[in-house]
Structure 1
Amino acid sequence: MASTATKEISYEELKALLAKSQNLLLVDVRNKEEVDKGRIPGSVHIPLDLVEAALEMQPEEFKAKYGVNKPPLDAPELVFHCHMGRRGGVATDKAQERGYLNARNYAGAYLEWLAKEGK
């Protein structure tokens, strides 16, 4: 299967999804120490080194561990983010390799969110 380029989502697109979508799964792939300093509201913390295993879990196990429903492979609103953008891109690639073809990376990442949210 040909490698797909990482799909990206902008701050404005993410902000709109957070406001209107019930189905958005926003995954924060930073480490615990980074998340403890602040997070994007509504995000679910799955560290980058656990993303592959999480996406391979059974739905019941995923929900028990992360508190949200595991996204279906055709989930239209699956977004990963990290602190500056690189790890979110890696996580997006891993998701796409597992069949989540609509997975996207919030390339602006937490740093852009923090700057634009003025906190």
Structure 2
Amino acid sequence: MKKLSTSEVKMLLNEGKSVNIIDVREVEEVKEGMIPGAIHIPLGLLEFRLHELDKEKDYIIVCRSGGRSARAYELLESRGYTVTNMTGGMLDWNGETK
């Protein structure tokens, strides 16, 4: 499993890199704040919304602590997507949120 820490993701964003983040938390959780530019697709809906994703792009998967994003990683990788899991999740995130 490919992984990036929260500080590595924050560094990519601060450098202005084009990153595609998918937040797989529930609606109530994202109300507390999301990484700016992230796409919100709750884990339970991910399989049904695959048509919204582009297999030519790389995605960073985010959740609260890293567990659900690991499951999302496995699902997306098995379907041919290029993905990375953000370890520590939003509990460890100290960057900007919206």
TM-score of Structure 1 vs Structure 2, range by shorter chain: 0.7 to 0.9
Structure 1 CA distance, aligned partners of 2:47 and 2:4?
21
1:35-74 C-alpha deviation (Å, 9 max, x unpaired): 111112221110001111211x2xxxx3xxxxxxx32x24
* Structure 1 runs (4+) greater than 6 angstroms displaced: none
Query: What TM-score do you get using the length of structure 1 for normalisation?
Result: 0.72
Structure 2 CA distance, aligned partners of 1:117 and 1:78?
18
Query: What TM-score do you get using the length of structure 2 for normalisation?
Result: 0.86
Mapping of residues 1-119 of structure 1, within 5 Å: 6-19=1-14, 20-22=16-18, 24-55=19-50, 57=51, 62=52, 70-71=53-54, 73-75=55-57, 77-100=58-81, 102-113=82-93, 116-117=94-95
Higher Cα Rg, which structure: 1
- Equivalent pairs counted in the alignment come to 96
Which protein, 1 or 2, shows the higher relative CO under an 8 Å CA cutoff with sep ≥ 6?
A: 2
AA of the residue aligned to 1:21: K
Q: Which structure 1 residue ranges, 5 or more long, are not aligned?
A: 1-5, 63-69
AA of the residue aligned to 1:112: D
1:61-113 C-alpha deviation (Å, 9 max, x unpaired): x3xxxxxxx32x242x311110011001100111100001x301101100000
Q: Which structure 2 residue ranges, 5 or more long, are not aligned?
A: none
- Percent identity among equivalent residues? 35
